[in-house]
């Protein structure tokens, strides 16, 4: 290669320099263009990017309001909130679930079932904290808290759990909370449920959900790219839900619930002149906290498969033949329609016959009651008298009169799921069975059998109407609630009045009912012994199956077809403070099971306040 001479070299150096100038010049131009572009972004579009930047690191985190507390008429707390801790994961952040779980198993007792549940739940909410183990023990919380920094996807999540002070005994009245379902989501205002995971599923919790819920607050959290909160700023505090004051008397509710232990049935106690429900019990019951955060499927299955059906609220959903507890009402119907005359003697044979009808209607007393009046027929529960009275009145007079007491109608109690029962009449029979009404069906309705079906609530409300001498108060559970620091009372509401041509007939029936409990020939005399006040009551024994002509002794029957035992009462008879209905399924005669329970309740309620 020939060595280039000096002038050629210097020309080439000049050329190279020119090329470098051009190349660097081109690059500089591009760099300036980039600067212009950046200037554009940082001036004209900066607001757009600033808001993106702010959204990036500030998250609005809804803060669930604390649910309203529920207390009884004396301020005794029935439902409140307590803090529980969950061990939660954000599924999208978990790289290796098996490893994470085996790490966590060293700290907490985690069942395979909980892992499966977590996986199910996690599928639909990959970016939210999803509980793996709920309601940690103090010890576990401490152990997890120490190791938390080593477990980046794991969170200790505090949440408010609902506690029911009286547990099982108020389960049917208060209801429970459940996870918000897909169906709920379509119905509710999702904005109000931001941060809230559970919703009132039954009972008062469901009925007054919108009062109890409250309004969510907002917190602003500075979060990093992993979504972990670094700092929290308060923006808007949540508004707690309204506290409810119920008409219940917690003490009485507890006594009622204990009195029903091991039995199936219901108790409803009402304050007659206000309609306040003092106690409402359905047995058997269940633990409402089982539903607490997320019900264990096994527990749920055993609840719904239980042949005793503990989830059924028998007090408002159980429909029973009232048996002889209907007799005071039938007596009033007879007096009002003129088919029963006070003090008029009636000979009660062992059985009652309808003309041209072969089948006799037998009295429960084989030898018959002999000479009776309308009053003594109530006291002794004489079937034949009421067969005859009902037959003479006819269904067209009897059914509408019973309807005036609200029987066979939903009582509009502020509790979801109430059933109406059935007050049959000719039109109903034709519509349902395409058959005429037979006179024999009126006859047995006189003693509360046949098609007639009442809920314990209806029976208690009708008994309260006896106590008020015709004033029908709307049964209610909510007495008052607070809102924005103000107590809003819900006043008692009269929904109708049963008027009689002669008000003295109220006294006649009340006195006959007092005799049921206190007279030597009363059917519930054993339950009236040594009472410090006077009780007006009526026993009832409802047949579960039709035995035909001869009615066997209840005690000889297997339990599942044994008669239901019923009792209605109000007391003190002169100035009633409480009216109630007690039903014990397959409890036999009204005087054996239901009446003693009623006495226990009356003592508890009336003597405590004396």
Partner 1 sequence: MAQNPYLSAATRLVAPLDRTLMLLILAVLVLSLAIQFSANNMSLQATQQHAVRIGIGLLALLAMAHITPLHLKRWAPILFLLNLLLLVAVVFYGSGDTAQRWLTLGPVVLQPSELLKLTIPLVVAYVLGPSLPPLSPVRVMLALALVAGATWLVAIQPDLGTALLISAVGVSVILLAGISRRWVLGLGALTGISLPFVWQYALREYQKDRIRIFFNPEADPLGSGYNVIQSKIAVGSGGISGKGWTHSTQAQFDFLPEHSTDFIFSVYAEEFGLIGVAVLVALYLAILWRIVAMSRTGPDRFSQLLIGGLGLSLLIHILINIAMTVGYAPVTGSPLPLMSYGGSAMISTLAAFGMMMAARHYALVRLK
Say how far apart CA 104 and CA 106 lie, in whole Å.
Answer: 5
Map tokens 């539903």 to a residue. Answer: 291
If binding is defined by CB under 8 A, does position 145 make contact with partner 1? no
Q: How far is the CB of 50 from partner 1 (least distance, A)?
A: 4
Interacting span for partner 1 (CB under 8 A) from 47-55, 168-176, 538-546, 556-564 = 47-55
CB-based contacts of 577: which residues, under 8 Å, 6+ apart? Answer: 271, 272, 571, 605, 606
Q: How far is the CB of 7 from partner 1 (least distance, A)?
A: 11
DSSP character string of 23-84: HHHHHHHHHHHHHHHHHHHHHTTHHHHHHHHHHHHEEEEEEPPPPPPEE-TT--EEEEEEEE
If binding is defined by CB under 8 A, does position 102 make contact with partner 1? no
If binding is defined by CB under 8 A, does position 125 make contact with partner 1? no
If binding is defined by CB under 8 A, does position 23 make contact with partner 1? yes
If binding is defined by CB under 8 A, does position 487 make contact with partner 1? no
Query: How many of the chain's residues bind partner 1 (CB under 8 A)?
Result: 43
Kindly state the tokens that stand for 545: 């199956």
Supply the DSSP symbol for 422: B
Q: Which is nearer to partner 1, 60 or 137 (CB)?
A: 60
Supply the DSSP symbol for 109: -
Q: What is the largest CA-CA distance in the chain?
A: 155
Binding mask 421-460 for partner 1 (x = CB under 8 A): ----------------------------------------
Q: Which is nearer to partner 1, 19 or 185 (CB)?
A: 19
- CA dihedral sign of residues 416, 421, 426, 429: positive
If binding is defined by CB under 8 A, does position 41 make contact with partner 1? yes
Interacting span for partner 1 (CB under 8 A) from 22-30, 355-363, 475-483, 598-606 = 22-30
Q: Which is nearer to partner 1, 53 or 137 (CB)?
A: 53
The set of catalytic residues is 324
Interacting span for partner 1 (CB under 8 A) from 38-46, 103-111, 485-493, 530-538 = 38-46
Q: How far is the CB of 226 from partner 1 (least distance, A)?
A: 7
Binding mask 224-263 for partner 1 (x = CB under 8 A): xxx---x---------------------------------
Q: Which is nearer to partner 1, 3 or 82 (CB)?
A: 3
154-164 vs 77-89, strand pairing mode:
antiparallel
Q: Is 543 helix (H, G, I), strand (E, B) or coil?
A: coil
Q: Which is nearer to partner 1, 20 or 575 (CB)?
A: 20
Q: Which is nearer to partner 1, 57 or 147 (CB)?
A: 57
Q: Which is nearer to partner 1, 32 or 575 (CB)?
A: 32
Say how far apart CA 393 and CA 488 lie, in whole Å.
Answer: 47
If binding is defined by CB under 8 A, does position 7 make contact with partner 1? no
If binding is defined by CB under 8 A, does position 185 make contact with partner 1? no
Distance between terminal CA atoms of the chain?
129
Q: Which is nearer to partner 1, 47 or 298 (CB)?
A: 47
- The answer to whether 537 and 569 have CB atoms below 8 angstroms apart is yes
Q: How far is the CB of 23 from partner 1 (least distance, A)?
A: 6
Q: How far is the CB of 12 from partner 1 (least distance, A)?
A: 5
Supply the DSSP symbol for 284: S
CB count within 10 Å of CB 192 equals 16
Q: How far is the CB of 217 from partner 1 (least distance, A)?
A: 23
Q: Which is nearer to partner 1, 225 or 529 (CB)?
A: 225
Q: Which residue in 32, 190, 261, 504 binds partner 1 (CB under 8 A)?
A: 32
Q: Which is nearer to partner 1, 221 or 544 (CB)?
A: 221
Map tokens 């109608």 to a residue. Answer: 409
If binding is defined by CB under 8 A, does position 39 make contact with partner 1? yes
536-542 vs 564-571, strand pairing mode:
antiparallel
Say how far apart CA 53 and CA 463 lie, in whole Å.
Answer: 69
If binding is defined by CB under 8 A, does position 37 make contact with partner 1? yes
- The answer to whether 522 and 528 have CB atoms below 8 angstroms apart is yes
Interacting span for partner 1 (CB under 8 A) from 17-25, 67-75, 347-355, 396-404 = 17-25
Measure Cα distances from 388 to 45, 187, 331, 349, 407 in Å.
Answer: 94, 53, 11, 11, 21
Is the link from the previous residue into 276 a cis peptide, with omega within 30 of 0?
no
CB-based contacts of 519: which residues, under 8 Å, 6+ apart? Answer: 379, 525
If binding is defined by CB under 8 A, does position 19 make contact with partner 1? yes
If binding is defined by CB under 8 A, does position 50 make contact with partner 1? yes
Q: Which residue in 132, 150, 220, 223 binds partner 1 (CB under 8 A)?
A: 223
Supply the DSSP symbol for 286: -
Interacting span for partner 1 (CB under 8 A) from 8-16, 213-221, 487-495, 586-594 = 8-16
Question: How many residues in total does the chain contain?
Answer: 610
Instruction: Provide the H-helix boundaries in 394-491.
Output: 395-404, 426-433, 439-445, 456-467
Q: Which residue in 7, 34, 338, 567 binds partner 1 (CB under 8 A)?
A: 34
- The answer to whether 60 and 236 have CB atoms below 8 angstroms apart is no
If binding is defined by CB under 8 A, does position 17 make contact with partner 1? yes
If binding is defined by CB under 8 A, does position 57 make contact with partner 1? yes
In the complex, which residues of this chain contact partner 1 (CB under 8 A)?
A: 1, 4, 8-10, 12-13, 15-17, 19-21, 23-24, 27-28, 30-32, 34-35, 37-39, 41-43, 45-46, 48-50, 52-53, 56-57, 222-226, 230
């Amino acid at each position: 290669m020939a060595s280039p001479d000096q002038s050629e070299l210097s020309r080439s150096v000049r050329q190279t320099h020119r090329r470098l100038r051009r190349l660097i010049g081109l690059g500089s131009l591009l760099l300036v263009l980039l600067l212009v572009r950046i200037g554009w972004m940082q001036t004209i579009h900066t607001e757009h990017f600033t808001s993106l930047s702010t959204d990036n690191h500030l998250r609005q985190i809804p803060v669930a309001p604390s649910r309203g507390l529920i207390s009884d008429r004396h301020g005794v707390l029935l439902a409140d909130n307590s803090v529980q801790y969950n061990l939660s994961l954000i599924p999208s952040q978990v790289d290796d679930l098996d490893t994470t779980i085996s790490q966590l198993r060293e700290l907490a007792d985690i069942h395979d079932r909980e892992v499966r549940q977590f996986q199910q739940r996690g599928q639909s909410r990959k970016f939210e904290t999803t509980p793996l183990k709920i309601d940690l023990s103090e010890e576990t919380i401490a152990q997890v808290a120490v190791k938390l920094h080593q477990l980046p996807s794991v969170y200790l999540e505090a949440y408010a759990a609902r506690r029911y002070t009286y547990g099982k005994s108020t389960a049917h009245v208060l209801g429970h909370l459940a996870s918000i379902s897909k169906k709920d989501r379509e119905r509710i205002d999702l904005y109000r449920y931001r941060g809230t995971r559970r919703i009132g599923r039954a009972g008062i919790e469901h009925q007054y959900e919108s009062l109890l819920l409250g309004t969510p607050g907002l917190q602003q959290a500075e979060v990093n790219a992993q979504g972990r909160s670094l700092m929290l700023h308060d923006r808007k505090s949540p508004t707690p839900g309204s506290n409810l004051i119920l008409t219940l008397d917690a003490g009485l509710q507890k006594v009622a619930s204990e009195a029903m232990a091991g039995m199936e049935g219901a108790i409803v106690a009402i304050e007659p002149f206000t309609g306040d429900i003092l106690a409402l019990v359905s047995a058997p019951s269940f633990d409402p906290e089982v539903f607490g955060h997320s019900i264990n499927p096994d527990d749920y299955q055993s609840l719904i498969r239980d042949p005793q059906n503990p989830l059924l609220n028998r007090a408002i959903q159980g429909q029973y033949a009232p048996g002889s507890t209907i007799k005071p009402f039938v007596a009033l119907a007879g007096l009002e329609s003129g088919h029963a005359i006070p003090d008029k003697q009636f000979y009660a044979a062992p059985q009652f016959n309808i003309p041209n009808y072969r089948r006799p209607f037998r009295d429960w007393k084989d030898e018959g009651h002999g000479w009776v009046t309308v009053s003594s027929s109530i006291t002794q529960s004489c079937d034949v008298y009421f067969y005859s009275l009902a037959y003479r009145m006819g269904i067209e007079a009897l059914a509408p009169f019973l309807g005036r007491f609200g029987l066979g109608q939903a009582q509009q109690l502020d509790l979801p799921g109430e059933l109406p029962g059935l007050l049959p009449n000719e039109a109903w029979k034709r519509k349902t069975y395409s058959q005429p009404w037979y006179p024999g069906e009126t006859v047995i309705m006189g003693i509360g059998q046949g098609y007639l079906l009442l809920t314990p609530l209806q029976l208690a409300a009708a008994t309260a109407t006896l106590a008020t001498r015709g004033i029908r108060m709307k049964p209610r559970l909510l007495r008052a609630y607070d809102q924005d620091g103000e107590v809003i009372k819900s006043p008692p509401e009269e929904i109708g009045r049963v008027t009689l041509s002669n008000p003295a007939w109220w006294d006649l029936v009340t006195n006959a009912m007092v005799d049921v409990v206190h007279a030597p020939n009363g059917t519930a005399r054993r339950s009236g012994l040594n009472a410090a006040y006077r009780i007006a009551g009526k026993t009832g024994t409802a047949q579960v199956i039709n035995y035909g002509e001869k009615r066997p002794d209840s005690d000889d029957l297997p339990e599942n077809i044994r008669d239901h035992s019923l009792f209605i009462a109000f007391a003190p008879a002169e100035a009633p403070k409480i009216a109630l209905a007690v039903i014990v399924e397959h409890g036999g005669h009204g005087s054996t099971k239901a009446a003693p329970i009623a006495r226990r309740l009356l003592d508890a309620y009336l003597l405590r306040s004396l």
